[in-house]
Each structure stands twice: as structure tokens, then as C-alpha cells.
């Protein structure tokens, strides 16, 4: 285990320069550029560990928004493949795949490049599916309006305590795969309690993306989240219009 206490050494001297700057200043500059390009579209940066169901969630949400006349676009982040983009392509919305070639997160510059190719002129909402990782993506602002953390019930109720940054920085937590609860000892109340202990303002949705579920209760969370997204789209569009009059 790499856990030495090596940080109490005194420096070897030299000229001291006071800096007092955000260490991620250059990423912030690109994030601001992205925000300007996003325009009226409401942008969600979706974080989670691998396999929590981010793409399945988009497969549930995007058609529901489309049915009600809202246009979505999707930026997919993946270490190695374009498998997720192919799934999004089936939904008939503009999508762009960023393959990071081993990098464990998306940064603002990668998104900046993707915006040269992705058609977002009609988009009301843009979903950025980050690389599956609950640590690294939390450090990088992509110019989004909101981070959303997805946690599946199979991951255990202690996840928010073990990976606090993702829950601290997100405005929404989606507890996914709730259809599996009867087969698990996972305690949904405990998941919420732990997440709210990190960020008491988290807005929480419980979802299932199973396509063949017979019980409507599993899909209520999807409907609630779609309503939430629609409201955010309207607010962002109104603010954008106000600023550009």
C-alpha cells in the first residue's frame, strides 16, 4: 500500500513565488468555452462507477424526452470502445464518442474537440456520459450545468462514504437498478442517509431501466427524472433568452 507520510519534508530553498491560483485554471478556460458553445442547451455530466447503468438510463430518458418534443444530444466517454455510442445511435439523436485511450476521465479540452463534430444546434439538453469511474472525473469541470451521480443498488450502501467527492460535487443522485433490490441486502435508506451526510442538498431519484419490468413502480423514477430534466431545460432556455435579449 502506497501510504507513506512523505509530505512533511522541508523544501531545499530557492526563490519563493506566491501563486494563489486554481490548479486547474487551463481546464476552467476550456470549460468556459464549452459553456458558451452549449448555448441554451441544459448540460448534465453523468458520473458513476462502471456498470451502474449510465447508458441504459440514457436509453430510457432520451426517447421519453423525444416523445415530448425535447431534443437531446449525447457525448459518450469511454476508455477503449464506441459501444455506448452505437447504443445511443439507435435512439436517433446526435452522438459523439470520445475514446480516451486509457485516460480515466473526460476533461474540458476533450469535450471542446467533440463540439467541432457534434451537431448540437437543435439540442435542448446535452448528456455527457463520463468514463466509468467515481474518482477521477470529479476533478474536471466540462462546462456542464450539473453533475449527476448514478449509483446502482448492487454497489453497496457505503459507496457515498467511500467516494465522497462524486456525491459532494453532484446536484442529483440516481439510485439505479432498484428492480434488483428484492435479491439484495442493500439498504436504500442507508444509501440515501450516507449520500446526504456528504451533500445534504442532493436531489435523489430511484430508477430501474429494465425494459421488461411488469411493475410500474420501477419506472416511476424514470418519469420523475424526465420531469426534472424538462424543468431544467425550460429554466436554462429562459435564462439564456434573457441574457441574450
Instruction: Tell me how far, at minimum, the Cβ of 5 lies from other proteins, in Å.
Output: 10
Long-range contacts, 98-103 (Cβ 8 Å, 24+)? 100/131, 103/79, 103/131
Gap between the Cα atoms of 86 and 106, Å rounded: 19
Q: How many C-beta neighbours within 10 Å does residue 138 have?
A: 22
Gap between the Cα atoms of 230 and 104, Å rounded: 30
Check residue 182 for interaction with other proteins (CB under 8 A): no
Residues numbered 99 to 118 that lie near other proteins (CB under 8 A) are 103-105, 107
Contacts of 186 (CB under 8 A, 6+ apart): 153, 154, 156, 157
C-beta of 27 vs 56, nearer to other proteins:
27
Check residue 26 for interaction with other proteins (CB under 8 A): yes
> What cell was used for 230?
424538462
C-beta of 15 vs 212, nearer to other proteins:
15
Are 129 and 106 a contacting pair, CB within 8 Å? no
Residue 60: alpha-carbon gap to chain centroid: 16
C-beta of 6 vs 211, nearer to other proteins:
6
* Length reported for the chain: 245
C-beta of 97 vs 138, nearer to other proteins:
138
Candidates 90, 122, 139, 213; binder of other proteins (CB under 8 A) is 139
DSSP 129-145: E--S-SSGGGG---S-S
Check residue 244 for interaction with other proteins (CB under 8 A): no
C-beta of 168 vs 228, nearer to other proteins:
168
Candidates 13, 68, 182, 211; binder of other proteins (CB under 8 A) is 13
Instruction: Tell me how far, at minimum, the Cβ of 9 lies from other proteins, in Å.
Output: 5
Candidates 54, 85, 159, 169; binder of other proteins (CB under 8 A) is 169
Which is nearest to 137 in space by CA: 176, 157, 166? 166
Check residue 54 for interaction with other proteins (CB under 8 A): no
Check residue 9 for interaction with other proteins (CB under 8 A): yes
Contacting range for other proteins; rule: CB under 8 A; set: 31-39, 57-65, 115-123, 136-144: 136-144
Contacting range for other proteins; rule: CB under 8 A; set: 2-10, 68-76, 83-91, 236-244: 2-10
> What cell was used for 185?
441486502
C-alpha dihedral sign at 46, 26, 165, 105: positive
Check residue 203 for interaction with other proteins (CB under 8 A): no
Q: Determine which helix (DSSP H) or strand (DSSP E) holds 75, and give its type and residue range.
A: strand 72-78
Q: Which residues bind other proteins (CB under 8 A)?
A: 2-4, 6-7, 9-27, 103-105, 107, 135-140, 164-166, 168-169
Amino acid at each position: 500500500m502506497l501510504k507513506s507520510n512523505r509530505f512533511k519534508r522541508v523544501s531545499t530553498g530557492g526563490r519563493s513565488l506566491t501563486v494563489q491560483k486554481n490548479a486547474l485554471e487551463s481546464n476552467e478556460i476550456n470549460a468556459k468555452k464549452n459553456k458558451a458553445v452549449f448555448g441554451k442547451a441544459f448540460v448534465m455530466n453523468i458520473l458513476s462507477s462502471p456498470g451502474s447503468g449510465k447508458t441504459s438510463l440514457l436509453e430510457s430518458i432520451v426517447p421519453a424526452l423525444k416523445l415530448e418534443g425535447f431534443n437531446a444530444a449525447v457525448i459518450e466517454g469511454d476508455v477503449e470502445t464506441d459501444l455506448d455510442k452505437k447504443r445511443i445511435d439507435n435512439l436517433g439523436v446526435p452522438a459523439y464518442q470520445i475514446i480516451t485511450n486509457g485516460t480515466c476521465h473526460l476533461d474540458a479540452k476533450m469535450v471542446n474537440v467533440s463540439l467541432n463534430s457534434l451537431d448540437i444546434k437543435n439540442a435542448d439538453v446535452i448528456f455527457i456520459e463520463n468514463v466509468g469511474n467515481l474518482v477521477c472525473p470529479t476533478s474536471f469541470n466540462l462546462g456542464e450545468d450539473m453533475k449527476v451521480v448514478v449509483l446502482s443498488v448492487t454497489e453497496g450502501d457505503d459507496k457515498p462514504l467511500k467516494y465522497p467527492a462524486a456525491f459532494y460535487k453532484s446536484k442529483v443522485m440516481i439510485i439505479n437498478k432498484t428492480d434488483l433490490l428484492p435479491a439484495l441486502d442493500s439498504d436504500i435508506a442507508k444509501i440515501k442517509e450516507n449520500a446526504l451526510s456528504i451533500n445534504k442538498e442532493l436531489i435523489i431519484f430511484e430508477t430501474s431501466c429494465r425494459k421488461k419490468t411488469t411493475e410500474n413502480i420501477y419506472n416511476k423514477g424514470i418519469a420523475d427524472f424526465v420531469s426534472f430534466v424538462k424543468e431544467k431545460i425550460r429554466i436554462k432556455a429562459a435564462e439564456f433568452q434573457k441574457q441574450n435579449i
